[in-house]
Structure 1
Amino acid sequence: MAALCVATAATAYLGLSAAIFSAMSGSQPGPYMDEIFHVPQAQKYCNGSFLEKVQWDPKITTPPGLYAFSLGLLSPLGWMLGLPPSERCSPTLLRLTSLLFSLGNFYTLYLLTCRLHSDTKLSTPQQLLQALSLALLPVLYFFSFLYYTDAGSTFLALLAYLMCAHGRHGAAALVSLLALCFRQTNVVWVAFYAGIVVCQELDRAWEEQRSKKDVSPSDRRARSLWQSWLQLLRFGLQWLRSPEAMWRALAPAWPYALPLGAFLAFVVANDGIVLGDRASHQACLHFPQFFYFLVFTLAFSSHLLLSPTRLRDSALALRRHPAAALALGALGCLLVWRFTYVHPYLLADNRHYTFYLWRRALGWHALARFLPVPAYLFAGWVLSEALRAKSPFWRAGFAVCVTAATVPQRLLELRYFILPYLVLRLNAPVPSVPHLLVEAALHLAVNLATVHLFLHRTFQWPDSADLQRFMW
């Protein structure tokens, strides 16, 4: 019965996606936006130029994993269809690889939901609706119809996570290596998977130490947050001073040394992380990116955002800890003041929704960027509560990885938040079926609206005859 439900859901997902794919490729048959770099580069691989020295487009920042995959898929497919070599990697067929990855994302999200919540009695519809809602995340789903790295990079990162969750760390390391060939920043999530393995041993040792002290559950709840973190800090320092304990925790994670070592070798050989366009992709300490991620995640988690209980609990927390709230608010304002960066791309390209988000919400006045600080605090509190069931080591590791994945980015780009969002949602409690239905419907509505804008609300720049289209 479960297999039939999965097949039905996958067929419906593929049918919807195929209809949108046909409409978008029919309206925009030629390369658009970043496709003007990716498509010609992929076509060089398809026509066999990779056997020689391929001239790399200096505007492309990511490795050629996507192009190699397209070659492996479309060359035999084109041969079977009787297409000449020049037509086997047309923009439409290249986009087909993103569509296939999108279907893979849906199924992998379903498998991850089943695995990570195996101790919870979830119904098959609940598992499928969770996967459907996450796969329909508008920022991810939109790029299932364009030749971008997002769908493939996300699929491989999720597949590596699935292997890790099943304890198949050798397979996870190999898939992680492939994920790095799509996007370098996936190294953060490779480190996260290794950290999960380490956390399992730390959790065991932590619980063992606490049980020896014979502390009752009521006493544990009575402890202040500050006391709990001090105890954790003492435990961490004690662990670092014990080579035997460190080896016991790190040894199971050794397979991840392969992708992490390969990444370090790449950085040394390449003299940096980015391949091309380095001037526009310089790392910085853009701490508000973490705040943007919090709001983004809450905005696309309607079961949390629309919950009266969350609002009531946050008000109670504020009443109980006013000094902490004021201190965090002051810190947030300081980080916004000193570490907000505005990338030239954000101000120059009016085809992206972030252009209007910045101009109308954050950049219309010098003080406007401080107004959302309370929203950042609320989002941070709600999301931390959603992860309360995870161990403190897991939560700390996740926070570090989200920071590493977002803060160094100078450009406000919502696609940077896709993987952190998915990992958080996969590890938070699965919402009820009614909540998931509402969320999936909202995601679908946003997707249909963005597709409509892309197809029908075109415009032109004064210095170009090409049609311009709105997109994420």
Structure 2
Amino acid sequence: MERSWFKYRILLIYTIISVVILNGIYDVSKSVIDELFHVEQGLNYCYGFFQEWNPKITTLPGLYLLTLLTPRCSLYNLRMIPLVCSVINFYLIYGIRLMLIDDKNDRGRLKVLIDTMSIATLPPLYFFSFVYYTDVPSMTSILLTFYFALKEKYQLSSIFGLFSFLMRQTNIVWVAGIFGTSVINDMMKEIYPKIKLEESTFSQLLFSIKTHLKQPRMLFKLIGQTIKKYYGYILVIIKFLIFLVKNGSLVVGDKTAHPATLHLSQALYFSLFTLIFGFSLWFHNIWSFIKQIRNKRFVISIISIAILMALIIRYNTIVHPYLLADNRHYTFYVWNRLYGRNEYMRYLLIPVYIFGMYVICKSLHGSIGFKLFYIISTLLTFCLQGLVEVRYFLIPFVILRLFRKDVVKKWTFIEFLINVFLNYVTIKIFHTIQIKWPDFDEPQRIIW
């Protein structure tokens, strides 16, 4: 009983500290970059003006529908929505991690709690708990979709999947990923009744597909069971396709600024993001990576991957105008002082990207279906985006962290301390550095 109460004490401390930070950010800034459009739209919904829509907004109205739950229409209350979602995320992360581990005794629960503290304080995610953006509520809707899917409450999961799509259109790839993973798992269980899905292989998947295709009765049985069991996901995907056809684009509002663009370099940036914010993922994998270098096949693979990465950097590095113009984001400074200043620096980072990819592959656990759809969903999340934004990496990174298996308590706790330090620096910079923009009356601040 004492151990279970400890979790709620940590959650209470997390909430109190977050409220203090929210108040501090509210005192120094009443308008944070694109929050200007979100707040205006949120207040319209809060007051019942549902027909008014700002054409600069590119997402569906999921965030603004949440304003209907606020007791009073104000900027502070709107900013409170992501904060409440952040607290809910803490609870959901703990619950999902607990479901996925084998060791559920006090020692295992302590590991899960430390892991939860680290994931919940992920700096680019945690900062957006204090401003009226879609990122944190979007994460909440995705976590709820995964949470109820793991509990096999698929229709409830699909409802939150629909809301995640309303929050941000690209979230549909995760709804489709959950659906696809579930169907593949059912199909493989039909062929291998005693299989441990976490140990399933790609060859077993291919054999399962071939067997179903060769036996129409088995295939039609699977299709019938799929429709009956997962009709909620199917309806969400159909609604998305209808939206895509009618809208003519994935984004609403300003379509010219965010056209779908093949941008494979984003995968390289994600590997770097994973290394920067995933200390507990890579630190204990350094030695295993070094040992693999003795293997000739591994070295040949690395050389091949390095050549592929060099070609991607050379021919598919896209520099969005916003990346060069908006000095209120950290990516502006990283690009202009690192990537943009010296073109050769992009190639010098290839070994780092390779190690990052290695860490991602080593950290990815679950059934072969999950691994397959994780890779597909992750690439679709950001490889069709021309603009480089760390916010695009949040959901893939958090899901990677949720489904990892090997948790080393001391490295995870160090990662948590690193996150606390980075959050302190981020918030300190937000409070102290002011940037004058002609379109805004008050000074602008630097954010992720």
Question: 8 Å contact 1:177–1:259 — kept in the other structure?
Answer: yes
Identity in percent:
33
Once the two structures are superposed, the pairs formed by residues 452-467 of structure 1 within 5 Å of their partners are 452-461=428-437, 466-467=442-443
Amino acid in structure 2 at the alignment position of 1:338: Y
Do structure 1's residue 318 and structure 2's residue 293 form an aligned pair?
A: yes
Q: Distance in 2 between matches of 1:210 and 1:434?
A: 33
Residue type at the aligned position of 1:127: V
Distance of 1:105 and 1:443 partners within structure 2: 16
Say whether the 8 Å CA contact 1:354–1:413 is kept in structure 2. yes
User: In the superposition, relative to structure 1, how do residues 248 and 18 fare at CA in structure 2: closer, same or farther (>3 Å)?
Assistant: farther
Partner of 2:324: 347
The match for 2:95 is 111
Aligned pair in 2 of structure 1 residues 68, 447: CA closer, same or farther (>3 Å)?
same
Distance 2:220 2:447 in 1: 48
1:199 aligns with 2:176: no
Is 1:46 matched up with 2:46? yes
Map of 1:176 onto structure 2 = 161
Match of 1:292 in 2: 269
Q: TM-score with structure 2 length normalisation?
A: 0.91
| Equivalent position SS for 2:332 | helix
SS in 2 for 1:281: coil
Alpha-carbon shift at residue 141 of structure 1 (Å)? 0.5
The question of whether the paired residues in 2 share the 8 Å contact of 1:31 and 1:91 is answered with no
Q: 1:319 to 1:110 in 2, by over 3 A?
A: same
What does 1:97-108 align with in structure 2 at a 5 Å threshold?
97-108=81-92
CA gap of 1:141–1:243, structure 2 versus 1, over 3 A, is: farther
- Contact preservation (8 Å) 1:239, 1:246: yes
1:5-44 matches, within 5 Å, as 5-28=6-29, 30-44=30-44
Cα distance in structure 1, aligned partners of 2:14 and 2:434: 27
1:372 maps to which residue?
349
Aligned: 1:421 with 2:393: no
Residue equivalent to 1:127:
112
Q: CA RMSD in A?
A: 2.3
Letter in 1 for 2:270: F
Partner of 2:150: 165
Taking the aligned partners of 2:362 and 2:387, their CA distance within structure 1 comes to 29
Tell me the alpha carbon deviations over residues 167-202 of structure 1, each in whole angstroms, 9 at most, x when there is no partner. 110110111111111111110110111022123224
Where does residue 386 of structure 1 map in the other structure?
363
Q: Specify the code of the residue in structure 1 equivalent to 2:77.
A: L
Which residue does 1:62 correspond to in 2?
59
Residues 208-251 of structure 1: per-residue CA shift (max 9 Å, x gap): 6999xxxxxxxx9xxxxxxx866754654454444444445551
Contact kept? 2:189, 2:195, Cα under 8 Å: no
**SS of 1:280's equivalent?**
coil
TM-superposition CA deviations, 1:357-386 (whole Å, max 9, x none): 111222222332222111111111122112
- Partners in 1 of 2:237 and 2:348 — Cα distance? 40
Amino acid at match of 1:60: I
Q: What are the ranges of 5 or more consecutive residues in structure 2 without an aligned counterpart?
A: none
- Give the C-alpha shift of residue 46 in structure 1: 1.6
CA contact (8 A) 2:90 2:117 kept: yes
Cα distance change of structure 1 residues 210 and 142 upon mapping to structure 2, 3 Å threshold: closer
Paired letter, 1:331? L
Structure 2 Cα separation of the partners of residues 331 and 297 of structure 1: 20
- SS for the counterpart of 1:111 is helix
Give the match for residue 142 of structure 1: 127
TM-score by length of 1: 0.87
Deviation of residue 325 (structure 1)? 1.4
Contact 2:155 2:230 in 1 (8 A): no
What residue is the counterpart of 1:258 in the other structure? Answer: 235
Give the residue type in structure 2 aligned to 1:285: L
Aligned to 1:409: 385
**In 2: Cα distance, 1:242 partner to 1:448 partner:** 60
More deviation in 131-140 or 249-258? Answer: 249-258
- Structure 1, residues 435-467: CA drift from partner, whole Å, max 9, x if none? 221111111111111001001122325787631
Q: Secondary structure at the match of 1:467?
A: coil
- Unaligned runs of 5+ residues in structure 1 are 78-87, 212-219, 221-227
1: distance between equivalents of 2:329 and 2:115? 28
Greater mean alpha carbon deviation, residues 406-415 or residues 237-246: 237-246
- After superposition, the Cα gap between the structure-2 partners of 1:240 and 1:139, relative to the gap in structure 1 and judged at 3 Å, is farther
